[in-house]
C-alpha cells in the first residue's frame, strides 16, 4: 500500500501520471510478487523479501482471506485517489516537497530514534506538513507519539521549529484524516512518553550502556495459547512450530 502511494506520487512528480486503475493493478502485482516470495521462503536469506507468518508456520491463507487483503488495499487506494490531500500534493510545486528518506533517524537525548515519514511538504506559510498513510484503525494513541517524533525529526533534519510542523494522519481504509499540532503541551507529553519508554526498556537490560540483555532475565510465559499465536515461537518454543519446509 505504502509502496503504491509512494510510486503514484513519484510518477506525478515527474509528470508521468497514473490513474486509479493502474495503481490498483500495480498493487495487485506487488501483492502477488510478495506472496510468491514469501511462499518460496526468500525472506530466510533476503531481508528485503516479504515474509508472511502463515508461510513460516505452514498455515493456510484461504481465498477469502486473500480477497479480504486485496479489497482492503483497493479501498485504501479508492480513498487516497479521492482524497483532498492527493489533490493538494498535486497542486503543490515540486520545490515545496521536502526530501524524506525511506528510513532516517535523529538523536533524542543520546538515543538514536528511527523514523520514516511517508511524505512531507512545505505549505504557503512555510510550515512543514508531515504526513503518514495509515491502513489501521483511526485514533491509535501511538499515532500522536509518532507525529511528535516527526516534529523532532523536522527540527534535526531541516532546522524547523516543531511548532511550525503539522502532522497529518491519513487513515486510508476509513477515508479519515486527523491533524496533530505540535504545540508545547503535545511535544512535552510526547517527549515524556519517549523518556518513559526508553527508561523502561533500559531497566530490562543487564548492560544498558552496551545495550545487552540476558535471556534468563526474560522468562517465557506459561500461557501456551499465547505462544501458539506468537511470531517468535520458532526460536522461543520450537516444539510449537512445525519444521520449516
Interacting residues with ligand SF4 (CB under 6 A): 220-221, 226-227, 230, 232-233, 236-237
Q: How far is the CB of 237 from ligand SF4 (least distance, A)?
A: 4
Q: 13 or 220: whose CB is closer to ligand SF4? A: 220
> Closer to ligand SF4 at the Cβ: 99 or 243?
243
Please return the burial class of 154, using the count of CB atoms within 10 Å of its CB with bins 0-12, 13-18 and 19+.
buried
* Nearest distance, CB of residue 56 and ligand SF4, angstroms: 13
In the complex, minimum distance from the CB of residue 229 to ligand SF4, in angstroms, rounded to a whole number: 8
In the bound state with ligand SF4, the residue whose beta carbon lies nearer, of 14 and 232, is 232
d(CA 219, CA 217): 6
Are 139 and 105 in contact by the 8 Å Cβ rule? The answer is no
Give the burial string for 28-64 (b: 16+ CB within 10 Å, else e): eebbeebbebbeeeebeeeeeebbeeebbbeeeeeee
Query: Could you give the C-alpha distances from 34 to 39, 41, 49, 173, 179, in angstroms and in order?
Result: 9, 11, 7, 21, 32
Nearer to ligand SF4, 126 or 219 (CB): 219
For ligand SF4, the closer of residues 16 and 235 by Cβ is 235
Which sign, positive or negative, has the C-alpha torsion 179, 182, 186, 187? positive
CB of 201 to ligand SF4, least distance (A): 16
**Residue 106 and residue 157 in contact, taking contact as beta carbons nearer than 8 Å:** yes
Could you tell me the smallest distance in angstroms from the CB atom of residue 225 to ligand SF4?
9
Amino acid at each position: 500500500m505504502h509502496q503504491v502511494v509512494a510510486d503514484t506520487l513519484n510518477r506525478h512528480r515527474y509528470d508521468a501520471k497514473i490513474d486509479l486503475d493502474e495503481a490498483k493493478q500495480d498493487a495487485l502485482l506487488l501483492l502477488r510478487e510478495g506472496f510468491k516470495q514469501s511462499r518460496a521462503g526468500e525472506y530466510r536469506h533476503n531481508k528485503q523479501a516479504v515474509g508472511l507468518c502463515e508461510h513460516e508456520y505452514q498455515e493456510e491463507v484461504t481465498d477469502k482471506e486473500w480477497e479480504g487483503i486485496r479489497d482492503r488495499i483497493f479501498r485504501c487506494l479508492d480513498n487516497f485517489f479521492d482524497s483532498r490531500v492527493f489533490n493538494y500534493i498535486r497542486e503543490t510545486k515540486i520545490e515545496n516537497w521536502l526530501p524524506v528518506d525511506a528510513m532516517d533517524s535523529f538523536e533524542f537525548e543520546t538515543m538514536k530514534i528511527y523514523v520514516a515519514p511517508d511524505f512531507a511538504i512545505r505549505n504557503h506559510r512555510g510550515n512543514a506538513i508531515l504526513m503518514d498513510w495509515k491502513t489501521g484503525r483511526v485514533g491509535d494513541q501511538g499515532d500522536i507519539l509518532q507525529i511528535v517524533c516527526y516534529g523532532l525529526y523536522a527540527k534535526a533534519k531541516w532546522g524547523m521549529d516543531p511548532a511550525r510542523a503539522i502532522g497529518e494522519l491519513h487513515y486510508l481504509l476509513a477515508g479519515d484524516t486527523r491533524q496533530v499540532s505540535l504545540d508545547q503541551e503535545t511535544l512535552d507529553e510526547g517527549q515524556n512518553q519517549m523518556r518513559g519508554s526508553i527508561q523502561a526498556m533500559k531497566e530490562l537490560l543487564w548492560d544498558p550502556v552496551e545495550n545487552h540483555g540476558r535471556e534468563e532475565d526474560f522468562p517465557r510465559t506459561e500461557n501456551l495459547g499465547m505462544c501458539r499465536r506468537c511470531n517468535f515461537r520458532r526460536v522461543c518454543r520450537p516444539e510449537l512450530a512445525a519444521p520449516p519446509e
